[in-house]
Every structure is written in structure tokens, then in C-alpha cells.
Amino acid sequence: MAPTPTIARGGGSSSAPPRGARPRPPRRRGLPAWVIPYAFLLPGVLVIAALLLYPIAQMVQMSFQEVGLRQFRARNPLPAEFVGTENYRQVFESELFWSSLRNTMLFALVAVALTLVFGTLVGLLLQRLGPKMSTTVVVGIMAAWAVPPASQAVIWKWLFDADAGVVNWALNLLPDWLSRLVFGRAEWSGEPWLNDPLPIYTVLTVAVVWASFPFIAVSVLAGLKSIPSELYEAARVDGSTGFRTFRAITFPLLRPVFSVLIVLSIIWDFKVFTQLFLLAGGTNMPREAYNLSLWSYVEAFSSPPDMGLGAAIAVVLTVILLLITFVYVRQIVKSEDVR
């Protein structure tokens, strides 16, 4: 199957084998054929260059500059001043860096692990349910998946409300001895959830797992359906059951799916912003509860703005994310016909 106008410019062209004896379309007037794909690509490349690549370069540049009030004032603004690695020194010397990094990493680790385990279990469950029940559950979990991040945040803020929240009400229903054993307290009325880092991240984890497990479950289900059932029959005939079948057949065959899902989840949970911002009360939240995204935002936009410092934090976050992304891109390039 020869692609219509095959263009191989430059060095490699002479070694390319001649294409099959397909009738050549008659010569037309207009653009030469090799220009066409580039012409089609041009608007997209311009958009990506202007809105994604140029800003990234700008951000890196800003991270070496002092960009604050004096650069923004209406009268006689100063040009941005080059300060070398000063911003980065500030980042790494700040206590907030370590607490934000810890919050970012720990949250991503816990949320990703819970989402993947729970999502996979639900995916396996969906496969074994009857067709009606399976469809009902899929539609139900799609509803959770569809809720916009801003709504997710307000819903869970409301469910975890100190006085009229359903969660505190339900925790009060637990027998006192059990509640004391597990949580060290029996009385939950009026217990605030969104004042300290640990409870804030507990609520955030629940909200994020709730919103993202459906994607994992549906993807795992799609993967499971692609596994030929003969394999499972053979395993049953050989006397393999349950967990062993999962380990020997399901998991190895779904490994590519899992590696993509893991990296996507890490990337999504690493830069969680909207839900944290809205759950914890925006820039008024306790500083110890910042993650890297939020810290960067606060430094750059709350007064006095320090955009250089904000940019340096964003650079650190981006570098971490691109290292993780590298794994994802390699996986996709390996399994897809990107070449």
C-alpha cells in the first residue's frame, strides 16, 4: 500500500526501493506535491509554536529574571532584570519547596496507586458481570468521570462539610469503640476537614480517585475484551484459577495498557490544581498544604507578585514531569506507527 505522494527528500531518497506499478495520476497545476503536507501542517505548527513552545522558552527565561511589581507598574516599568540562578537558590532554600515537593509526590503516589488498583478491580468486575448490570455500572461510573473538576471540588467539599456533611454523619454512625479504634475519636459532628494538610489531602485523594477510577476501569475492560477467550479456557483446563490466571495471562497481555495508564495517571495527579485550589480555599489555604503547582501560582500572582520565582518553581515541576513523560512517549513510539 503506497502512500499517495511519497516524498522522501534529502539523503535517504536514492536508496528507497521503487514503488509498485501503480498508475501515476496525471500532472496537475498548482503546488508541487511535496509542499502539500507542510502546508496542511503549517497552521497547527504555528499554534503549537506560539501557544506552547514559545511560552515554555519564556518561562525558562523568566526563571532567571526578577519579574515583580517594578516590572508591572503602569508608570515607567523597569525591564526584567537578569538575576542568574538567584530564583532557583530561593526555591531550593525555601522550606515550602520541600513541603510542596513532599505533598506533590506523596499525593501522586497514593492517588495513582489507589486509582489503579481500584480501577483495575472494577474493570475485572465489569467483565464478569452480566451484560445488563455491566452496562448500568459503566453508565454510572461515566457519570462520575464526566463531572468537571470544579464541580468535583465543590461536591466533595460539601460531602466533607463539618456540620451538615454526609461523611461526618456517616462516621458518627460507626459504633463508638470501632471509631475510637480506627480514628482515635468517637464524635465527628463539627469536625473540620479542610484546615490542615493531612485532612485536606485525604479529601483530595478521595475526590481524585472517585473521578479518575472510571477511566482506568473502562480502559482495562477494553483491554480485557481484546484478550482471546481461548487463553482463559486453556488456563481453566490446566487447572489455573483466580489470581494465578491474572498474573500469568491478564497482566502480561495488558502490560502495555497499564504502562500508559500509570504514566497518564501520574501526570494528571502530579499537577492537580483545580480541585486542590477549590477544596482548600484558594490562596487562603495553609501554606504547608501547597503542592508545586499551587506554590508556583501563589508566588507568581498573589501580592507581591514574584513571577521569576513562580517560573523557577514551574520549571522544576516541568522537568520532573518531562522525565516521567519520556517513559510514556517511548512506550507510545514503540507500540504505534509513529515512524
Partner 1 sequence: MSPLVRRRLGRVALNSAGVAVLLFAIFPVYWMVATAFKPTDEIFSTEFQPIPLNPTLDHVERVFTKGVAGHSIWTYLFNSAVVALGAVLIGAVIALLAATAVARFRFKLRTSFLILLLIVQMVPAEALLLPLFLMVRRLGLYDQLLGLIVINVGLTLPFSVWMLRTFVAAVPKDLEEAAWIDGAGRWATFWKVLFPLVAPGLVATSIFSFITAWNEFVFALTLLDDPAKFTMPRALQFFIGLRSTDWGAIMAASTLMTIPVLVFFLLVQRRMVSGLVAGAVKG
Q: Which of residues 296-325 bind partner 1 (CB under 8 A)?
A: 296-297, 300-301, 307, 310-311, 314-315, 317-318, 321-322, 324-325
CB of 95 to partner 1, least distance (A): 20
Specify the residue, 201 or 278, whose C-beta has the smaller distance to partner 1. Answer: 278
Q: Work out how close the CB of 311 gets to partner 1 at its nearest, in angstroms, rounded to a whole number.
A: 5
Strand 65-66 to 81-82 pairing: antiparallel
Does the footprint of partner 1 cover residue 246 (CB under 8 A)? no
Among 81, 273, 287, 288, binds partner 1 (CB under 8 A): 273
Cβ nearer to partner 1, comparing 1 with 237: 1
Minimum Å gap between C-beta 44 and partner 1 is 4
Determine, following the binding rule CB under 8 A, whether residue 282 of this chain makes contact with partner 1: yes
CB 194 within 8 A of CB 279: yes
CA 303/CA 26 separation, integer angstroms: 66
Site for partner 1 in 65-104 (CB under 8 A): none
Stretch that binds partner 1, among 107-115, 196-204, 243-251, 260-268 (CB under 8 A): 260-268
* Between 88 and 215, CB nearer to partner 1: 215
Among 106, 133, 178, 181, binds partner 1 (CB under 8 A): 133
The amino acid sitting at 68 is G
Which residue lies nearer to partner 1 by CB, 6 or 181? 6
Using the rule CB under 8 A, which residue among 15, 20, 27, 51 binds partner 1? 51
Taking the C-alpha atoms of residue 231 and residue 236, their distance in angstroms, rounded to an integer, is: 9
Task: Say how many C-beta atoms besides its own lie within 10 A of residue 211's C-beta.
Answer: 23
Q: Which helix (H) or strand (E) holds 81?
A: strand 81-82
Q: Which is nearer to partner 1, 142 or 181 (by Cβ)?
A: 142
Closest CA to 274 of 295, 294, 249, 257: 294
Residue 193 contacts residue 97 (beta carbons within 8 Å): no
The residue behind cell 521569576 is: 308
Interface with partner 1, residue 136, by CB under 8 A = yes
24 has which bridge partners?
none
Interacting residues with partner 1 between 168 and 197 (CB under 8 A): 169-170, 189
The Cα–Cα gap between 291 and 284 comes to 14
Chain center to CA of 139 = 23
Q: How far is the CB of 16 from partner 1 (least distance, A)?
A: 10
CA dist 265 → 55, 68, 111, 234 (Å): 25, 34, 9, 33
DSSP string, 248-271: IIIHHHHHHHHHHHHHHHHHHHHT
**Contact track, partner 1, 205-244, x by CB under 8 A:** -----x---xx--xx--xx--x------------------
Q: Nearest approach, Cβ of 214 to partner 1 (angstroms)?
A: 7
Contacts of 149 (CB under 8 A, 6+ apart): 211, 274, 275
* Helices 292-301 and 95-128, axial angle in degrees (round to 10): 130
Return the number of the residue (55 or 181) whose C-beta is nearest partner 1: 55
Closer to partner 1 at the Cβ: 156 or 193?
A: 156
Among 82, 158, 183, 251, binds partner 1 (CB under 8 A): 158
Binding region for partner 1 (CB under 8 A) out of 84-92, 197-205, 238-246, 289-297: 289-297
